[in-house]
Homo-oligomer: A and B are copies of this chain.
Amino acid sequence: MLTNSRAAYHDHNHQRCIDAALDRARDLCSQQGARLTPLREAVLHLIWTSHRPLGAYAIADLLPAATGRKALAPTVYRSIEFLLDQGLIHRVASLNAYIGCPFPGSRHSELIMICRACGTAAELSADSVDSALSDVTRRAGFFMETQNIELLGLCPGCRGEGGPS
């Protein structure tokens, strides 16, 4: 089981998350011959500002302060498309928002846990889920190619505050 829930849901030095994500992104892009331009890196950086999914227009609003250049929707969406293609971010369909992938490059199925109280999202990859899904879909005659699993609930912190034990 691979997850970034420890970091996402607990106090941590978030700067290390950011640094690690940007380092991995630079490495992966240079390996792939993909160009992580300043704009794309700035968008990735903004998405990694927190562990909460960020919308495209929020990115557009934040970019000027981060880069000094204003950015309109198509520019932002192009960067998002690039980052999605490289597997550096994920789209959270139920929120129309985007979140940094904590383990890009490694072959993994994405499963996103979203706290309905604080909005924090963590990613998790587990063979047990993969095999259960492969098994049942195969039995249904369906050839599964990609998964989009978004789970809503309460993170450890918000569960304690008046939530269920």
Contacts and interface: CB of A to CB of B under 8 A. Distances in A.
Interface stretch (A17-25, A50-58, A66-74, A129-137): A129-137
B143 A5 contact: no
Q: How large is the interface on A (under 10, 10 to 19, 20 to 34, 35 or more residues)?
A: 35 or more
Contacts of A122: 140, 142
A31 to B, nearest CB: 26
Chain A interface mostly: mixed
A126 B116 contact: no
A15 interface: no
Contacts of A148: 93-94, 148-152
Contact of A153 (B113, B137, B149, B150): B137
Nearest to A149: B149
Nearest to A155: B142
Interface stretch (A39-47, A77-85, A156-164): A156-164
A126 B134 CA distance: 12
A139 interface: yes
A62 interface: no
Contacts of A132: 126, 128-129, 131-132
A106 interface: no
A153 B163 contact: no
Nearest to A91: B94
Given A142-B155, A143-B164, A145-B153, 19 more contacts: A1-B140, A93-B150, A94-B148, A113-B144, A124-B137, A126-B136, A128-B132, A131-B132, A132-B132, A133-B149, A141-B155, A142-B154, A143-B155, A144-B152, A146-B151, A146-B152, A146-B153, A147-B150, A147-B151
